[in-house]
Amino acid sequence: MTIPGFGEIAEQLRRSTVLIHSGGRGSGSGVIWSSDGFLLTNAHVVRSRRPTVQLWDGREFQATVHSRDPFRDLAQLRIDATNLPAASAADSSLLRPGELAIAIGNPMGFVGALATGVIHGVGPLRGLGPHSWVQAEVRLAPGNSGGPLADARGRVVGINTMVAGRLALAIPSNAVRDLLSAAPSDGRLGVTVHPAFVPRPYRAKTFGLVILEVEPESPAALASLLPGDILLGTGERRFASLEDLGRALQGNGPRVLRLEFLRGDYERIRRVSVELGNRLAARSSAAA
């Protein structure tokens, strides 16, 4: 099937997609959300406070993290630029299975790579919490995270985030709008986690969040949390999903989050106090 003007649609979408370097050797993608310098990407793409953003024309900018929502894996960046080719967004709730899907990103170092496929559905997926995902049969690779998933008219319907089986999963554009309209939160732990059920002697399996990576100088690092630690919950309640950690991080201003976790010995629950919302904090109490 030939789509009139598809080349122009794809080229415009490329111009609205950026390359993000944020510490380490990897990179990700982002979307120009407004012409005055606001960008959207995944929270897990942003690994530093001052990521570097490269535009389609080769210009580079140091970005600031305007807001971050690890609960939904979204981050809003700001660069000092104007008259940018902003993408337009569609209502993701109107998507239907079988519609054309277009993904733009920077996988494996290939800038502005395009992939096409079809929408499979929009809704929650088992094991990934209550949130809805735009599910599309589009080939993604490392570096696509944070880039746009668009419809046949080039309007953004989601932010590409991960691959599950043969399907690409994107955060719906309506969820992005919710982030932009919500009250800002400066809650940032600085970890990459994965949900798991932990076998414990003489007890039922316990839900936990396994820490896969800890960002240097992050609140988690300052509190001596390590890869391999398993977060169980706060002092008030146990985690039952990834979303519970996101809720615990919500808020603004200097505050202390008390976490319970396992390290090595699955019978001994450890506790740590993590300082959030205080960029000038030089230390947090050590993990006990």
**Positions marked catalytic:** 44, 73, 145
Q: Comparing C-alpha atoms, which of 102, 87, 110 is closest to residue 151?
A: 102
Instruction: Give me Rg for the CA atoms of the chain.
Output: 20
The DSSP-derived string for 78-112 is E-S--S-----B--GGG--TT-EEEEEE-GGG-TT
How far apart are alpha carbons 18 and 104 in whole angstroms?
10
